[in-house]
A = this chain, B = another copy of it.
Amino acid sequence: MEIALEREVGRGGPVYRQIADQIRAEIAAERLGAGEKLPPIRALARRLGVNRDTVALAYEELSREGVVEASVGRGTFVRSAVEPIAPPPHFEARLSPLVDRLLDLERSRPRFGSADGAVPLHSLIPDPRLYPAAAFRKALGRALQEGGPELLLYGGPQGLPRMREALATHLVGHGLDVVAGDLVLCHGASQGIALAVRVFAAPGDCVALEEPTYNNVLHTVRGLGLETAAVPMRENGVDLQALERTLARPEVKLFYSIPTFHNPMGTTTSLAHRRELLAIAQRCGKPVIEDAYEMDLRIDGSPVPALAALDRAGLVVHLSSFSKSLFPGVRVGAVTARGRLVEALLALKQATDLSDAMPLQAALAEFVESGAYRRHLTQLRRVLRARRDVMLGALEEHLPEGSRWTRPEGGYQVWVELPEGVDTHELLPDAVSAGVLFAPGYQFNHDGRASRGLRLTFAMADEAEVRRGVAALAGAIRERAAASLRRPQPVVL
């Protein structure tokens, strides 16, 4: 009996199954006949250079299938009537309906097809060319050295005190009245959204969200079994009358808002708008989750206080993140709240994943305390200002009449609305062919309906790339307009 094992781990499957398969094949090919004795376990194990348990497991499997038969003290024998037992039927698990819903959402994401070399004006991920990677590596090395093995324990659901201190100080600089105890660190602001939403809303409840809004929050909220209510965005922020009507509905439990450097619109609301928004939340008795994910990225204009800085009643839960201002890979975000809400967030965080990774929190604390983060921001803002100015200039130069766009005072994104009649999702393949990617507006709508809006970013693209990308986009728009003129018009019979 010849048995050849695939020795490279990860190939050929588990060894015991390889052995069983080959013996089964020998029997099927009648090279091993009924009543013949298999080699003793110990001998075969030695011959193959494997553990005895491995051979025993193979024999056990064949015996269970009825191919061989073990006789205590005598050995293992090929059975006379070999009726190969079919493997069990494949099990098709029923997925949760929420997962089906999520998979539908995933499938509706834009496909960029073959986009090699296209300018990535779709991406809201900061440019790796701008990461202070070496400085961060040093901070991580120092933090691990100082922290010792204790840094490798569970850190508890609230996160490293040193990092919370550093971030609380930073938030106070942004006008928030907070201390380290008000912060719950989490795994990026994205996890913070899920935690904060769950504090107030249970499955079946409804969450009010701007429209357009950050597309992933639609996934998060629906994946939790919650419904969404769309409150339309205007040029100067969410429609406040619509907001009041929506928050008055009893099933709506909270409002999620991005008042500063809105995603996808890039706009920042005025102080007056913020005060009115808080007054509405107070009248309706509904909390507000303020996503301040780009708060450190102001390029110019006067800072407007965060909702959380204006809130004296305790209405606002504030989310912050280092993913856009430093890099996403550090996975440190924070939820800022008060009293009972902190307790609720901790219980949820504990039930979600117990604790974040302390080494990265310690490194980031080191990085912030040392002033390296502040220096990085100064440099980053300078780059962003130049890129934004180039983008706004190029839009002015290239986009067809009837197009409109926002002028962000910070962050990475500009919202463009093309002339009536353009569906930006349909435009995407043409843009890809022309050498540019953008984020079509439909995915920021709650119901995924067609949009003439699109999001452009200057996150991943430098000045030259931005210029080239906008020109390519304008080219694709002109092409499409010309083609639609050339297209034969339907004839009425």
A contact set with B: CB distance below 8 Å: 9-10, 13-14, 16-17, 53, 57, 60, 64, 87-91, 93-99, 102-103, 105-106, 125, 128-129, 131, 133, 136-137, 140-141, 144-145, 148-155, 165, 168-169, 172-173, 175-177, 179, 186-188, 190-191, 194, 198-205, 216, 219-220, 222-223, 225, 253, 271, 275, 282, 285, 287, 302-303, 305, 309, 312-315, 323, 327-331, 340-341, 343-344, 346-348, 350-360
Give Cα A354–Cα B187 distance, bound, in whole angstroms.
9
Give Cα A111–Cα B148 distance, bound, in whole angstroms.
28
Inter-chain contact A202/B96, CB cutoff 8 Å = yes
Q: How far is the CB of A199 from chain B (nearest CB, A)?
A: 6
Inter-chain contact A271/B223, CB cutoff 8 Å = no
Give Cα A103–Cα B88 distance, bound, in whole angstroms.
44
Inter-chain contact A220/B99, CB cutoff 8 Å = no
Q: In this complex, which of A172, A330, A352 has the most chain B Cβ atoms within 10 angstroms of its Cβ?
A: A352
Give Cα A147–Cα B156 distance, bound, in whole angstroms.
29
Q: How far is the CB of A160 from chain B (nearest CB, A)?
A: 11
Q: How far is the CB of A57 from chain B (nearest CB, A)?
A: 6
Give Cα A275–Cα B154 distance, bound, in whole angstroms.
35
Inter-chain contact A343/B16, CB cutoff 8 Å = no
Contacts A96-B200, A188-B355, A219-B351 known; 20 new A-B pairs at CB < 8 A: A9-B169, A13-B172, A53-B303, A87-B313, A95-B199, A99-B198, A102-B348, A106-B347, A129-B149, A133-B148, A137-B145, A152-B328, A153-B328, A188-B353, A194-B351, A202-B203, A202-B225, A216-B350, A220-B352, A331-B353
Q: Which residues of chain B come closer than 8 Å to A359, judged between CB atoms? A: 140, 329, 360
Q: Which residues of chain B come closer than 8 Å to A314, judged between CB atoms? A: 90-91, 93
Q: How far is the CB of A85 from chain B (nearest CB, A)?
A: 11
Give Cα A98–Cα B168 distance, bound, in whole angstroms.
29
Q: Which residues of chain B come closer than 8 Å to A186, judged between CB atoms? A: 353
> Which are the 10 A-B pairs with shortest beta-carbon distances?
A203-B203, A152-B329, A128-B149, A191-B353, A152-B327, A223-B351, A88-B313, A102-B347, A96-B202, A91-B313
